Amino acid sequence: MEITVKLFAMFRVGRFAAGTYKYREGITPADIAGELKIPEREVGIVLVNSRHAKLDHRLFEGDTLSLFPLVGGG
């Protein structure tokens, strides 16, 4: 199935900003972070289709996954 993956802030360094890739059924944000060599403890915010999700959230065809390190501002 195809999932759009977006990376932000330092996660982009040496990787990519956004892309649509093929993944196996039942894959989770944790699995994708692992494939990208992003340590789980560095993942601050997970959004799936603009909603906050957990790392073990089950992804489906056409989903957009956004991964952020723990960052903030204001």
Partner 1 sequence: MEKIIRVNMADLSTRIEAVPAGWAGLGGRGLTSTIVAAEVPPTCHPLGPSNKLVFAPGLLTGTPAANSGRLSAGAKSPLTGTIKESNAGGTAAQMLARLGIKALIIEGIPKADAWYSLHVSMDGVTVQEETELVGKGNFAVIEALEARLGKKTGILTIGPAGELKMTAANISVKDPDSKIRSHGRGGLGAVMGSKKIKFISINDEGAPKVPIADPEKFRTASRAFAKALLDHPVSGEGLPTYGTNVLVNILHEAGGLPTKNFTAGQFDSHDKISGETLHETIVARGGKHKHGCHAGCIIQCSQVYHDKEGKYVTSGFEYETIWGLGADCCVDNLDDIARADNLMDDIGIDSIETAVMFGVAMEAGILPFGDGKGIIRLLEEEIAKGTALGRILGGGAGSVGKAYGVTRVPVVKNQGIPAYDPRSVKGIGITYATSTMGADHTAGYTIATNILNVGGFVDPLKKDGQVELSRNLQIATAAVDSTGMCIFVAFPALDIPECLPALIDMINARFGISLTGDDVTNLGKHILKVERQFNIEAGFTKEHDRLPEFFKSEPVAPHNAVWDFTDAEIDEFWNF
Reduced 3-state DSSP string for the chain: CEEEEEECHHHHCCCCCEEEEECCCCCCHHHHHHHCCCCHHHEEEEEECCEECCCCCCCCCCCEEEEEECCCCC
The reply to whether 28 sits near partner 1 by the rule CB under 8 A is no
The reply to whether 44 sits near partner 1 by the rule CB under 8 A is yes
Q: Scanning residues 51 to 70, which ones bind partner 1 (CB under 8 A)?
A: 51-52, 66, 68-70
Considering only residues 1, 4, 6, 55, which one is a binding residue for partner 1 as defined by CB under 8 A?
A: 6
Q: State the residues that interact with partner 1 by CB under 8 A.
A: 6, 8-10, 12, 17, 42, 44-45, 47, 50-52, 66, 68-74
